[in-house]
Structures are given as structure tokens and as C-alpha cells.
Amino acid sequence: MSLYQGRLRRMRLVAIRDIERYAGRRVKVCGWFVTTRRVTTERGRQMRFLSVEDMTGVLETVLFPAAYARYGHLLTTSGPYLLTGTVQNDHTHCTLTVDGVEVVDRVEVVDGVEVVEKVEVLDRLASDAPRETALTPARSRAT
């Protein structure tokens, strides 16, 4: 996660260790998937439970069927991901009900040039939205 710290500091993220303070509020966290479990509901729709870890702790999250249909196609690696949602507190522990997922851009240096891989967040159902990536040189703006 330290490779992403500069970019993430500007995003007003909540550290997982502090999540209890935000019960009932919308927050954005960034983390890597530790475990994941996909479930089929009684109505036959898919949803997903994820354990997400940042440098301060682990948080249980859930993508209910509507959120999973919209963002599930992005969950193809262990991350890191930006997850937006509402913090739920059942008096024993907190969870995050996710309503937004973004893939953190990856920056690599290839032959001395910084290359950014971007994954777009699409507002379509997973079946209509294949994962799209584009490699673009980050410093090729000079014309």
C-alpha cells in the first residue's frame, strides 16, 4: 500500500481502525481483499462478502445484489480497491455496505517511462461491461 500513499492521501479516506467513528455515514476506504465469498440469494441474484485490509486493520464489507451487478466485474484481482459505502454498526463490530467500487490506478516504469494503467468504472451491469484497460504514457503530453 505504501506505493499508493501519495495518491491516496488526497482522497479523504477513512482508516479501517477508525471506522467505528463513522457509523451510519458514507465513507471511502482503500484496501486489499483478504477473503471473499460469493452468495446466491433466495431470488437467484448474486451478492458478495469481502474482507478488506488496509495498513491499520481488516473490515468486513458486503455488496448486495444491485451493487454487485453494477461493480462485480471490477473485482478481478486482490486490489487495491477504493470502496465507498455506509458504515453499519451492530454493537459488536462494524461492516461496510458497499455502493461504489473503483480500481486504484497502477503506475509502473517501463523503459524509463512512467506508464499508468487505468481501469474505468462503468455504470452498466456486469454482463454488459467487460473490464476495460488502457495503457497510456503518463508523461507523453508534450506536443
- The C-alpha atoms of residue 132 and residue 32 are separated, in whole angstroms, by 20
Burial 107-120 (b: 16+ CB within 10 A, else e): eeeeeeeebeeebe
> Nearest CA to 58 among 16, 100, 2?
16
In terms of pLDDT, which residue wins out, 100 or 76?
100
pLDDT of residue 96: 98
What are the tens digits of pLDDT across the range 11-56? Answer: 678 999 999 999 999 999 988 999 999 999 999 999 999 999 988 9
Structural domains in the chain plus CATH codes: 2-103 (2.40.50.140), 106-137 (no CATH)
Distance of CA 36 to the CA centre of its chain: 13
What dihedral do alpha carbons 95, 98, 102, 107 form, nearest 10°? 10
- CB atoms under 10 Å from CB of 130, counted, come to 9
pLDDT of residue 76: 87
Is the pTM of the predicted complex or chain greater than 0.75?
Answer: no
In terms of pLDDT, which residue wins out, 106 or 95?
95
Which amino acid is residue 129, in one-letter code?
Answer: A
CB-based contacts of 28: which residues, under 8 Å, 6+ apart? Answer: 11, 12, 13, 14, 82, 83, 84, 100
